[in-house]
């Protein structure tokens, strides 16, 4: 029995939210559906363990005795620990080496969790995000806009020669070729909360740019389908993610993306799926069918020519120009759309153009809806800077990297849910530091209690002190502590 009972500061709401999130939105049943099961930690030989007696064994006539006893760690426990290490100050490797890890299983057990051959991590993220979204929508009114946001970001890898499917990919930020993957991300937002529901690490389709291993895998397996998806075109991946979102019942009004995906073929394909799009378009040579308002003449013009042939709005208007056009793909399929021109905030003399395939929306609604797209950029920044997206996983397995990417997304969802549930004014970064601070305090409290209990056991053994004397010593010790330290410990009862 401990002489000093540990009391954590405050109520540990953020730490509790991690286990509550996994119990409520994931659970053991979803983990089993995704092929994520328990991991064997160790095997003990020559035990007296016997298989339980049951009707089948009685029918066979024998009750077998096992020569081995397996110690297993549940999938839910491993997933919880995977989420927790993202908020700890030290790396999992350092925590295992110094013996300060949360649990008592082996290091290999922790890392083998990412390498399950039948684990469908993509489904886990989609189902978990869908459960969170449906729960949030049931708690809010229907007078708000929901949208899907798609974009990619560089997932850099140093070297990459031994990493599966690692290649030279184009980085849109600095317009250079980098070693790694393009992390294609699909997220859902209701204007207040952003939740990543699907992610894929895209690599190059050019064999000359492939840096890492490209080992053939049976495409009928989950690992094979995952590697096939890694070589898809970015536009095909976006359409696939939209279909998955519709199939899982995620509600949304339209799709948002940047100029890299706003080509006519993409707009037409999404419209064929009964999905409307709002996107920024490039000032390139892509032609749109436009009808002159004065003469009724129909011409194929690019966005620059359409801008130059129309009268712009004067003053401090929210937009400069709005025209209705027809978008035509290479196969001749045509859909109506609206082009909205607005001033470029970076250069007031310049302009940017947006396209919307829902012509019933006003120009104000189009511009306000597109502003939601910035939330995916903050997601990339937060996961890379705070949630250890690039620094925690050093595995060379494509499956392990995918697992790590999904776990980082779950960490972000936990913080987003906590902020939504409490109507918290704090940012995601402040919530992250709150969780990290509580984990550090918990480890420090455990270490302090262990040291004091060891000291008291030594005093009890060396001086043959009674429990009453030990309690008086502890009370005297706690009374001399500062006030903020006294609240962390419980005063023992003195007889």
User: How big, in percent rounded to 5, are the helix, strand and coil portions of the chain?
Assistant: 45, 20, 35
| Chain segment 20-33, per-residue pLDDT in tens | 899 999 999 999 99
Domain layout of the chain by residue ranges = 121-424
Radius of gyration of the chain (CA): 29
pLDDT at position 179 over 50? yes
Q: What dihedral do alpha carbons 138, 140, 143, 148 form, nearest 10°?
A: -70
In 3D, which of 195, 255, 238 has the Cα closest to residue 382? 195
- The reported pLDDT for the residue numbered 65 is 56
Q: Answer whether residue 377 shows pLDDT above 50.
A: yes
Neighbours of 52 (CB within 10 A): 6
Q: How far apart are CA 480 and CA 477, in angstroms?
A: 6
Q: Which pLDDT band holds residue 491 (cuts at 50, 70, 90)?
A: low
Average pLDDT, integer, range 242-258: 94
Q: What is the pLDDT of residue 1?
A: 29
Name the pLDDT band for 231 (thresholds 50, 70, 90): very high
**Residue 287, SS3?**
coil
| pLDDT bucket at 474, cuts 50 / 70 / 90 | confident
Task: Provide the token pair at 172.
Answer: 């849109």
Q: Please check the confidence at residue 76 and state whether its pLDDT lies above 50.
A: yes
Residue with the larger pLDDT of the pair 154 and 12 = 154
User: What's the CATH architecture for 121-424?
Assistant: Alpha-Beta Complex (3.90)
pLDDT in tens, 288-303: 999 887 777 888 999 9
pLDDT for the residue 8: 34
Q: Residue 65: which residues within 8 A CB-CB, separation 6 or more?
A: 48, 49, 50, 51
**What SS3 class is residue 88?**
coil
pLDDT (average), residues 345-369: 91
- In this predicted structure, what is the pLDDT of residue 4? 30
pLDDT at position 30 = 95
Dihedral in degrees, nearest 10, Cα atoms 114, 120, 125, 131? -130
112-121, 148-157, 231-240, 413-422: least confidently modelled range: 413-422
In the structure, what pLDDT confidence band is assigned to residue 381 with cuts at 50, 70 and 90? very high
Looking at the predicted structure, is the pLDDT value of residue 395 above 60? yes
Q: Is the pLDDT of residue 11 over 50?
A: no
| pTM score, whole prediction | 0.80
With the CA atoms of 451, 455, 460 and 461 taken in that order, what torsion angle do they form, in degrees rounded to the nearest 10?
100
Mean pLDDT across the stretch 255-276?
Answer: 92
Confidence band of 9 (pLDDT split at 50, 70, 90): very low
486 vs 85, more confident = 85
Q: In a 10 Å sphere around its CB, with 0-12 CB exposed, 13-18 middle and 19+ buried, how is residue 91 labelled?
A: middle
Q: Cα(299)–Cα(64) distance, rounded to whole angstroms? A: 83
Alpha helices in 234-299, H assignment, sequence order: 234-247, 264-272
User: Which pLDDT score, from 0 to 100, does residue 28 have?
Assistant: 93
Beta bridge partners of 188: 148, 195
Q: How confident is the model at residue 5 (pLDDT cuts 50, 70, 90)?
A: very low
pLDDT of residue 10: 36
Count of Cβ atoms closer than 10 Å to residue 335 Cβ: 19
What is the reported pLDDT for 439? 61
Give Cα 64 to chain centroid, integer Å: 46
Q: For 300-361, give the DSSP string.
A: EE-HHHHHHTSPPPPSS-S-SEEEEEEEE-TT--EEEEEEEEEEETTEEEEEEEEEES-TTS
Give 121-171 pLDDT, tens digit per residue: 999 999 999 999 999 898 887 788 899 999 999 999 988 888 999 999 988
pLDDT of 6 higher than 70: no
Q: Does 211 have pLDDT greater than 60?
A: yes
Q: Across the strands, what pairs with 177?
A: 170
In the prediction, which pLDDT does 67 show? 59
When the pLDDT of each residue in the chain is averaged and rounded to a whole number, the result is 84
Assess whether pLDDT exceeds 60 at residue 494: no
* The token pair that represents 214 in the structure block: 């490209």
| 3-state SS record for the chain | CCCCCECCCCCCHHHHHHHHHHHHHHHHHHHHHCCCCCEEEEEEECCCCECCCCHHHHHHCCCCECCEEEEEECHHHHHHHHHHHCCCCCCHHHHHHHCCCCCCCCHHHHHHHHHCCCCCHHHHHHHHHHHHHHHHHHCCCCCCCCEEEEEEEEEECCCCCCCECCEEEEECCCCEEEEEEEEEEEEEECCCCEEEEEEEEECCCCHHHECCECCCCCCCCHHHHHHHHHCCCHHHHHHHHHHHHHHCCCCCCEEEECHHHCCHHHHHHHHHCCCCEEEEECCCCCCEEEECCCCCCEEEECHHHHHHCCCCCCCCCCCCEEEEEEEECCCCCEEEEEEEEEEECCEEEEEEEEEECCCCCCHHHHHHHHHHHHHHHHHHHHHHHCCCCCCCCCCCCHHHHHHHHHHHHHHHHHHHHHHHHCCCCCCHHHHHHHHHHHHHHHHHHHHHHHHHHHHHHHHHHHHCCCHHHHHHHHHHHHHCCCHHHHCCECCCCCC
Give mean pLDDT, residues 202-216.
Answer: 92
Please identify which residue in the block is written with the tokens 């996961």: 383
- According to the model, what pLDDT value does residue 31 have? 96
Reported as a pLDDT band with limits 50, 70 and 90, residue 456 is confident
């Amino acid at each position: 029995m401990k002489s000093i009972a540990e009391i954590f500061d405050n109520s540990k709401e953020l730490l509790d939210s991690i286990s509550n999130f996994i119990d409520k939105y994931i659970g053991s049943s979803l983990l089993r559906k995704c092929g994520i099961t328990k991991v064997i930690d160790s095997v003990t030989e020559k035990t007296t363990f016997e298989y339980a007696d049951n009707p089948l064994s009685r029918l066979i006539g024998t009750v077998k005795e096992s020569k081995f006893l397996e110690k297993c760690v549940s999938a839910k426990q491993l997933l919880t620990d995977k989420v927790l290490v993202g908020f700890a100050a030290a790396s999992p490797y350092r925590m295992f080496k110094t013996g300060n890890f949360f649990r008592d299983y082996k290091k290999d057990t922790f890392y083998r969790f990412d390498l399950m051959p039948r684990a469908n991590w993509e489904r886990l993220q989609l189902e978990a995000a869908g459960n969170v979204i449906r729960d949030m929508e049931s708690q809010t009114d229907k007078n708000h806009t929901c949208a899907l946001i798609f974009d990619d970001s560089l997932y850099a890898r140093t070297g990459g020669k031994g990493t599966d499917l690692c290649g030279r990919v184009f980085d849109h930020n600095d317009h250079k070729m980098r070693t790694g993957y393009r992390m294609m991300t699909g997220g859902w937002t209701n204007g207040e909360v952003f939740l990543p529901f699907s992610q894929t690490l895209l690599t190059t389709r050019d064999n000359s740019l492939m840096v890492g291993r490209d080992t053939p895998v049976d495409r009928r397996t989950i690992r094979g389908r995952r590697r096939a998806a890694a070589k898809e075109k970015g536009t095909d991946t976006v359409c696939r993610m939209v279909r998955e979102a519709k199939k899982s019942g995620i509600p949304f009004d339209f799709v948002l993306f940047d100029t890299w995906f706003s080509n006519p073929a993409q707009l037409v394909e999404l419209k064929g799926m009964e999905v409307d799009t709002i996107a920024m378009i490039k000032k390139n040579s892509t032609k749109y069918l436009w009808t002159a308002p004065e003469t009724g003449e129909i011409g194929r013009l690019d966005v620059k020519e359409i801008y130059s042939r129309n009268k712009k709005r004067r003053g401090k208007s929210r937009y400069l120009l709005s025209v209705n056009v027809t978008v035509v793909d290479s196969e001749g399929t045509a859909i109506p759309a609206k082009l909205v021109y607005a001033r470029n905030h970076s250069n007031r003399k310049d302009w940017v153009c947006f396209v919307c395939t829902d012509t019933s929306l006003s120009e104000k609604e189009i511009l306000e809806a597109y502003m939601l797209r910035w939330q995916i950029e903050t997601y990339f920044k937060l996961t890379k800077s705070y949630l250890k997206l690039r620094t925690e996983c050093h595995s060379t397995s494509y499956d392990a990297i995918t697992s790590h990417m999904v776990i980082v997304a779950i960490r972000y969802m936990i913080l987003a849910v906590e902020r939504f549930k409490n109507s918290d004014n704090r940012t995601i970064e402040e919530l992250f530091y709150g969780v990290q601070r509580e984990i550090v305090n918990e480890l420090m409290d455990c270490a302090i209690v262990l040291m004091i209990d060891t000291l008291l056991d030594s005093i009890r053994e060396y001086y043959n002190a009674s429990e009453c004397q030990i309690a008086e010593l502890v009370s005297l010790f706690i009374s001399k502590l500062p006030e903020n330290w006294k609240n962390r410990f419980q005063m023992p009862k003195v007889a």
